[in-house]
Structure 1
């Protein structure tokens, strides 16, 4: 594969479906879309989907959670990846009860042909979860692989991975399979007693583990089959287990020794999720003007989440549950020649089949926890029925209308059922070397099952929580020049985010902790510049936002907490010759407000080292700007179908911190490197 074969013009001509439900060129999509090609993924050498999104897509920012691997888009985030939708070949990967897919090692990057990132509300097509954006992963085909490929990588901090893929196309049957396995011991950071955010820190220093993935490895395996370009089948089994770096419960953010916490069902502290995904779909061309698409599917998700709640007694709680869902999707597309109409109906039924909590301390599991005789999560099922309509047509020769609306009706287990209407309308003006898009869209996300039915006192939710709503206006001009070797894009947006679910700290014991009361209005700009010349590509990807109004959200009048107002990436790719190519990237993360508030039951905790080490109460804490640099080198061995790689993340071993849904910013990883080899048989 020629890693520099896909030009700017070719990227704009890529056919996508995730933006409006219609097959259309990227340049004709109704809103801002970023395409991450296979060559861009290979060139970058990044570890995870989170790394990839924060490298190539404006406004994606890495954020820290206590025990989950997380990322934010346009300043909207929570404790897990629950505010944007991740798809595989158009199929939802986000779970139902917890609404997450996890952008970690459970989603392998090697299997990907391209990624379509719809930046902005996507509920008019995709419904629930598509609040801020949609990330649609398109897997490779057997025809493009045409054989067997094996690769391995290993690096410092015990990082190791193994990947295989196999595919081909014979007699109109295309098959592609993949398998990836990843483990990492994690980077161990020494935390001294005076630097521990604990009222009773350990007498001796304790090691915190950063980006550890072990005790139940991460993996992603799957198979796709396509028959005669009409029938398609997918099976995908994946798992991710992220080691929590500090304590999660009690006075969270304390240092603990992972060796003093027993394995619970083989799992060490941190969130672990295991998924199965299946679908069978058929595209039936009824005639030249009518197409019928039918898909049936089944998914399951198994959650295990041991968390440390007391660093002194090594007390822990393991929360686990299992769920499955099945559904049907039907679409009918009619082509009027001068216009296109898409009608669809979706049905999904979800059931929580098991829920349990186990407690222990000092290396001993003491037994299960019940809440008034009930499990940690109510058992039962929920269903959602959706109908939608999408329409597009040219108004004038260069002006096109692209609009749609979706209606979602959800039957909840208990409490108030929901009914949501998600409209979208866009105008596109194509002037050849310049394109202008103006769009309005509304989206929603239903609060996760966990927030509505958890029995934990610290997570008391309400079965009547309303969906969170996002309304967005976007204007996207795009310019091509220098014979389409250069591209300049600006995306300007106005977001109105309402009914935000947040924790009410003053709630009485008989009141829910989670309520709908937050509001956030922002405006922002996302500039992008790409220049290709000969065998070199230069990219600038930036973002800036400003708050217009904020209530009941982790923000003040000027800053969304832990989100930089300014951020940009500079990415330079070069193919030196037919043997060696490399990518060098520089990431600038602007200063960000990250308040420090160490408290227990809303009472500030006293600092045992008031004159040294860290401070416990710093409401105006600001994190300084951070520069991070990465490099990836690929060497094609002459006369062999083999590539050797070398990657360095955070080249200068920059020490930096990042906050999120945590009580103080956590230290992030330093310099990581890995060597790899890939061979095609």
Structure 2
């Protein structure tokens, strides 16, 4: 099936006029070289820790210490030095984030102990475009997301509805793609374990005031064996992957035009050897942005579209290899939006942001159809959505937000007051306020307190799905989930190269949407408190060694006090980076504590030995990455990565979260790549 692209001129039909914290330490930063020292091609960007700038918490550029959120900023250089292959590789090392392997195209990202089966409670933005599929509300952090085009990732932990609405329930991940023409064009080719090959490229051109930046990737992998199906029986399926991506950004004056296209196919590995299911996602994310700059006023208008086509086919074969069962599914959905933001700086201490939002979400096609059952041709719709008799549901929401930021006491005390009002036709109006206080007494320490609320509207699937087996059907009467959070952070600088951050948080959840024993979705009357804390320590070294004379280490530990099924209450990460003029080395140690039990754990497993097996115990994993460039002017770069060095074969849960048998972690693997730079 070919992806159905919406032309840009469709936006003219949108019913809204177009022109209407404290310090969080980065993953790694090295000693700044003196002006007389040569620039090192391996060197990570060096900034004073107090001067790191972020955009996501305020929709305006602010120093990270004054940002009204708990936030981590990760640069392209840091991503490359980690040897990260996927967004999951990066996120699992962030404090307060737990990534659960799912291996069907959608790894699960849980922030601060709040489970989300398809990542529908964590917002993902790419260049301001929400990456949220309209039916299921999900997005992927694994091979679906092109990582070689990322300039910076900002990870917000805690509600973000005061600016971003219902998708930013437990947190937000904002990706900024590369908008600078690269100094060199780059081509990278690689091979890896499990018969994996890939090819990436980055290029750009600048003509006068206009710039064009393009990047792409192609990869395929046979994948590793799953071992067991959802019933615990032997399975011969692999976690194979094929992915293609193409991204382009055009900038001219105050105009920006950007587009990302991803084509991702994977085998669904949880079935028995006699069954096979493949699924393919084709995703287009595009935007058009214009910025007016006046003396004190900045007006930014952005038009965007996000379109997803998903197809899958499922077969079951008899012993004689004849097809006994066949079904397929098609899903076409899109989100189209318009944002107009007015930012006014009264002076250097007073700043107000005002924004208007209009967004449409549409499902033009969705069905799961059985066409062969017990070897007999049938035409049986297994699943579909129906809204008031309409099998192609649509919805919209309108929103307005305002935020005022003030600096007092010689710019030491920051006060942020803001709120957003969202209007959905299916629900009552949702109001999401936020209050944040930041205080920085001097260059040694800073503090932050944030109070905020957020909501998460039900997905179309939760509202309108109809299944012929009456399992977990939709409920149009659902209302949004609610969350209230208080957060605090204190950061102390022992020196310019030695820092400690301590953070605490408490989230109060209510009205969460659930299904019990396969019954229709409903809002729970229970409330759930999720408290916890984070500790993060960073230190930099400049040594006299001949090799690896710049070293940086980062340690973070998170404790979440919650009994949610499959949640690890304790997570820990230790990252070490080392470099010199030729070599760059990284290792990252990740610890996931024992995961909570659940009432349904392994209830479907038919093999007694596996059903009794303890797959929720704690584990350690280790990743490493080595880069080598023969000399500073060399166009060649050789890299070697080792993933899961300890070869830890733990299993992670998949749906709901334990209704299927656990999903196997990727065994130890090696990646080898060679890059070439040219003008």
Considering the TM-score relative to the shorter chain, is it more than 0.5?
yes
CA offset at residue 480 of structure 1? Answer: 1.8
Instruction: Name which of 255, 267, 276 aligns with 1:231.
Output: 255
CA offset at residue 282 of structure 1? Answer: 0.8
Conserved in 1, the CA contact under 8 Å of 2:91 and 2:97? no
Give the match for residue 24 of structure 2.
Answer: none
Residues 1:587 and 2:590 are matched in the alignment = yes
CA offset at residue 583 of structure 1? Answer: 0.4
CA offset at residue 67 of structure 1? Answer: 6.7
CA offset at residue 519 of structure 1? Answer: 3.2
Conserved in 1, the CA contact under 8 Å of 2:146 and 2:245? yes
| Deviation readout 1:464-512 (Å, 9 max, x if unpaired) | 2111112110001112232x112211121001111111112274xxxx2
Instruction: Name which of 213, 221, 244 aligns with 2:268.
Output: 244
Report the more deviating stretch, 351-360 or 150-159: 351-360
SS at match of 1:128: helix
Conserved in 2, the CA contact under 8 Å of 1:561 and 1:592? yes
Instruction: Name which of 324, 328, 333 aligns with 2:343.
Output: 333
Distance (Å, rounded) in 2 between the aligned partners of 1:325 and 1:290: 29
With over 3 angstroms needed to count, the CA separation of the structure-2 counterparts of 1:367 and 1:87, relative to structure 1, is: farther
SS at match of 1:614: helix
Distance (Å, rounded) in 2 between the aligned partners of 1:586 and 1:50: 15
Alignment of 1:201-280 (within 5 A): 205-210=234-239, 212-213=240-241, 217-228=242-253, 230-247=254-271, 255-257=272-274, 260-261=275-276, 268-270=277-279, 272-280=280-288
Report the more deviating stretch, 58-67 or 218-227: 58-67
Distance (Å, rounded) in 1 between the aligned partners of 2:384 and 2:564: 41
Alignment of 1:146-165 (within 5 A): 146-165=183-202
Distance (Å, rounded) in 2 between the aligned partners of 1:84 and 1:606: 31
SS at match of 1:126: helix
TM-score (norm 2): 0.85
CA offset at residue 513 of structure 1? Answer: 4.0
| Deviation readout 1:154-213 (Å, 9 max, x if unpaired) | 11112222111111333121221111122221101444xxxx6639x5xxx432424x21
Alignment of 1:10-409 (within 5 A): 10=48, 12-64=50-102, 68-143=106-181, 145-191=182-228, 198=231, 205-210=234-239, 212-213=240-241, 217-228=242-253, 230-247=254-271, 255-257=272-274, 260-261=275-276, 268-270=277-279, 272-285=280-293, 287-306=294-313, 315=325, 317-337=327-347, 338-360=349-371, 366=377, 368-370=379-381, 378-397=391-410, 398-409=412-423
CA offset at residue 65 of structure 1? Answer: 7.4
CA offset at residue 326 of structure 1? Answer: 2.1
Distance (Å, rounded) in 2 between the aligned partners of 1:468 and 1:80: 15
Distance (Å, rounded) in 1 between the aligned partners of 2:317 and 2:522: 24
With over 3 angstroms needed to count, the CA separation of the structure-2 counterparts of 1:82 and 1:310, relative to structure 1, is: farther
CA offset at residue 562 of structure 1? Answer: 1.4
Distance (Å, rounded) in 2 between the aligned partners of 1:22 and 1:364: 61
CA offset at residue 307 of structure 1? Answer: 5.4
SS at match of 1:623: coil
Distance (Å, rounded) in 1 between the aligned partners of 2:206 and 2:518: 62
Give the match for residue 444 of structure 1.
Answer: 455
Give the match for residue 5 of structure 2.
Answer: none
With over 3 angstroms needed to count, the CA separation of the structure-2 counterparts of 1:37 and 1:68, relative to structure 1, is: closer
CA offset at residue 383 of structure 1? Answer: 0.8
Distance (Å, rounded) in 1 between the aligned partners of 2:636 and 2:376: 49
SS at match of 1:55: coil
CA offset at residue 368 of structure 1? Answer: 4.4
Alignment of 1:273-672 (within 5 A): 273-285=281-293, 287-306=294-313, 315=325, 317-337=327-347, 338-360=349-371, 366=377, 368-370=379-381, 378-397=391-410, 398-411=412-425, 416-431=426-441, 432-456=443-467, 457-482=470-495, 484-505=496-517, 507=519, 512-517=520-525, 519-534=527-542, 535-547=550-562, 559-575=563-579, 577-595=580-598, 597=600, 607=606, 610=608, 613-615=609-611, 623-638=616-631, 639-660=633-654, 661-663=657-659, 664-672=661-669
RMSD (CA atoms): 2.7
SS at match of 1:50: helix
| Deviation readout 1:566-620 (Å, 9 max, x if unpaired) | 1101111111x31111101111111113447478xxxx6694x55xx3226x8xx
Q: Which has the higher contact order (CA 8 A, sep 6+)?
A: 2
With over 3 angstroms needed to count, the CA separation of the structure-2 counterparts of 1:514 and 1:334, relative to structure 1, is: same
Distance (Å, rounded) in 1 between the aligned partners of 2:440 and 2:639: 41
Q: How many pairs align? A: 618
Distance (Å, rounded) in 2 between the aligned partners of 1:489 and 1:635: 33
Conserved in 1, the CA contact under 8 Å of 2:169 and 2:483? yes
CA offset at residue 290 of structure 1? Answer: 1.3
Conserved in 1, the CA contact under 8 Å of 2:513 and 2:522? yes
Distance (Å, rounded) in 2 between the aligned partners of 1:635 and 1:365: 60
Distance (Å, rounded) in 2 between the aligned partners of 1:365 and 1:57: 53
TM-score (norm 1): 0.85
Distance (Å, rounded) in 1 between the aligned partners of 2:483 and 2:601: 31
Conserved in 1, the CA contact under 8 Å of 2:201 and 2:215? yes
With over 3 angstroms needed to count, the CA separation of the structure-2 counterparts of 1:598 and 1:103, relative to structure 1, is: closer
Q: Which runs of 5+ in 2 are unaligned?
A: 1-39, 543-549
| Deviation readout 1:1-39 (Å, 9 max, x if unpaired) | 6433434x4454232221122221112111211011112
Give the match for residue 36 of structure 2.
Answer: none
Conserved in 2, the CA contact under 8 Å of 1:358 and 1:367? no
